[in-house]
Structure 1
């Protein structure tokens, strides 16, 4: 050997391999990219808008905001009633 510990040689070889792979001119696509390319070749996807309709999003957000508020307030009221009931029964 050249006087270098074995693990250092492995590290240098691995580093060289990574640099070599990063500098490759042609990189093979991932399995998912190949699968999608094959699927879309037979059945291309339809057009997708870049952004959703702002009015639909605002309407949905308003509705879900009220529902969330009612659910949270209902849970808080139920906990208060339950704690009051437990406290009332414990006092006798």
Structure 2
């Protein structure tokens, strides 16, 4: 029985090597679906980066909000430590 199991493993390994070494590899189902869809209706060009005004507007607003939150937290910690230090004396 052990001999049969080893024989099956060797055949399976051979099949995997044969499949990996194949010259032509079939595309995945998603790749085939997209190729068929794009053949009839090709996608339009997509920019690599987002629109500059959209990014600038979002960064400007979130930058100020983030800065205010960080400075507020730092000020809160300083006040808290000062209060604790004042109470201990």
Q: Do Structure 1 and Structure 2 share a fold, with TM-score over 0.5?
A: yes
Q: Which residue of 2 aligns with 1:31?
A: 29
TM alignment of 1:14-29, pairs within 5 A: 14-29=12-27
- Cα shift at 1:63: 2.7
Q: How does 1:68-79 map to 2 (within 5 A)?
A: none
* Unaligned residue ranges in structure 1 (runs of 5+): 74-92
Q: Where has structure 1 moved over 4 Å in runs of 4 or more?
A: none
SS at match of 1:5: helix
Matches within 5 A, 1:1-92: 5-64=3-62, 66=65
Q: What is the deviation of 1:54?
A: 4.0
* Alpha-carbon distance, 1:10 to partner: 2.5
Shift of 1:5: 3.1
State the TM-score, normalizing by the size of structure 1: 0.56
Structure 2: gaps of 5 or more residues: 73-89
What is the distance in 2 between the residues matched to 1:60 and 1:54?
A: 10
